[in-house]
Chains A and B, each alone.
Chain A
């Protein structure tokens, strides 16, 4: 158990609906990352936070996606007006200051989104 917690584990929604996922990183990890993984592919970077600041966003993160980390602890990823192409596993990872140089990222189990 890596200690990164994601909720929910599974989400089924209809096209056009909004969904929100939550990630709780390992305690005191100041960096938090969101990745997306589709079937048969490796995780793809979406965005990352250092404390509460969102420092980088991928071009994969369209205007329908927004991520927040208001208090520098847990983070939420919201997808508005979901499309079938949004169906994927959404993974969260965190890393600690002492391990930045090695970039040891610990992943959660992910939230699997299915858009019908």
Chain B
């Protein structure tokens, strides 16, 4: 099955600085890589995703990069703000799915704290 590793587990930055979270995956057949943000007491919310035919995708202050050869992908947040403080999860869908269900295997999460 798919194994997704994520680091760091905690990240503290000053407001306005950049934050980078990295993930590696094991299944070379994985072709879709979402990032979720989870705030306290809420479910995960999709913030950005990337497909394997693209190396980078940007949405305002958030960007994701993908290196298929090395099987790793990263989340970049620029000009961080206090409201960016949350737990961030990367995920990837393993192959060998019944009916193409595309379940997701999640990383263990990164607690991002943006300090004033």
Contacts A102-B51, A108-B43; A40 near B109 (Cβ below 8 A) = yes
Whole-angstrom CA separation of A110 from B42 in the bound complex:
7
User: In the assembly, what is the distance between CA of A2 and CA of B103, in Å?
Assistant: 18
With both beta carbons as reference points, the residue of chain A lying nearest to B94 in the complex is identified as A45
Number of A-B contacts (CB under 8 A): 69
| Residues on the B chain within 8 Å of A56, using CB | 97-99, 101, 103
Closest Cβ–Cβ distance, residue A80 to chain B (whole Å): 24
- Is A113 among interface residues, defined by CB-CB distance under 8 A? no
Chain A nearest CB: distance from B5 CB in Å? Answer: 11
Residue pair B89, A43 in contact (C-beta under 8 Å): yes
Taking CB atoms, residues of chain A closer than 8 Å to B97 are 56
Interface magnitude class on chain A: 20 to 34
Q: How far is it, in angstroms, between the C-alpha of A31 and the C-alpha of B100 when the chains are bound? A: 11
Across the interface, which residues of A come within 8 angstroms of B34, CB to CB?
103-105
Enumerate chain B residues within 8 angstroms of A55, measured Cβ to Cβ. 98-99, 101
Neighbouring A residues of B49 by C-beta, 8 Å: 102, 104
Q: Which residues of B contact A79 (CB under 8 A)?
A: none
Taken together as a complex, chains A and B put the C-alpha atoms of A45 and B101 apart, in Å, by 11
Asked, given contacts A43-B89, A48-B103, A56-B101, whether A103 binds B32 with beta carbons under 8 Å apart, the answer is yes
Q: Which residues of A, 33-64, contact B by the 8 Å Cβ criterion?
A: 33, 40-45, 48, 50, 55-56
Q: Is B102's CB within 8 Å of the partner chain A?
A: yes
Tell me, rounded to whole Å, the shortest Cβ–Cβ distance linking B86 to chain A: 14
Known A56-B99, A102-B51; judge A107-B104 contact (CB<8 A): no
**Candidate in A31, A42, A106 with the most chain B CB atoms within 10 angstroms:** A42
User: What residues make up the interface of B, taking CB atoms closer than 8 Å to A?
Assistant: 4, 6, 32, 34, 36, 41-46, 49, 51, 89, 91, 93, 97-109
